[in-house]
Amino acid sequence: MSSAAIVEQAPGVLALSGVLDYQNGPTLREQGGRLIRSMQAQACVIDCAAVEKSSSVGLSLLLSYLRDAQAVGKTVSIRGLPEDMAGIAKVCELEHVLPLEA
């Protein structure tokens, strides 16, 4: 398992990767918010395809990133949501709240 990270993979695309848990959640929260606020694109895609494992912290991060983007007038879509995160979203009835790409 690799350490977690969020980086700007391409203009307007943030890549979330690694194992998302309570230990790295606060750091990812801060880094992701900073990236969203500083990116030039008005539309942001958060790519979760490289997330290896996630607790509910992963969904909390995504919801926080949505709020960050809304605060600065940007839109967000989420792609590559891993099965474990999708399962947690379904149990928490968040699958309709998350702007998932088809």
Domain assignment present for 99: no
**How many independent structural domains does the chain possess?**
1
User: What is the reported pLDDT for 95?
Assistant: 86
DSSP string for residues in 17-63: EEEE-TTTHHHHHHHHHHHHHH-S-SEEEEEEEEEEEE-HHHHHHHH
Domain enclosing residue 44, as ranges: 5-92
User: What is the reported pLDDT for 1?
Assistant: 54
Report the candidate in 83, 70, 82, 18 with the shortest Cα–Cα distance to residue 44.
70
Q: How far apart are the first and last CA of the chain?
A: 27
CATH of the domain at 77: 3.30.750.24
Per residue in 31-90, pLDDT (tens digit) is 999 999 999 999 999 999 999 999 899 999 999 999 999 999 999 999 999 999 999 999
Q: Who wins on pLDDT, 61 or 96?
A: 61
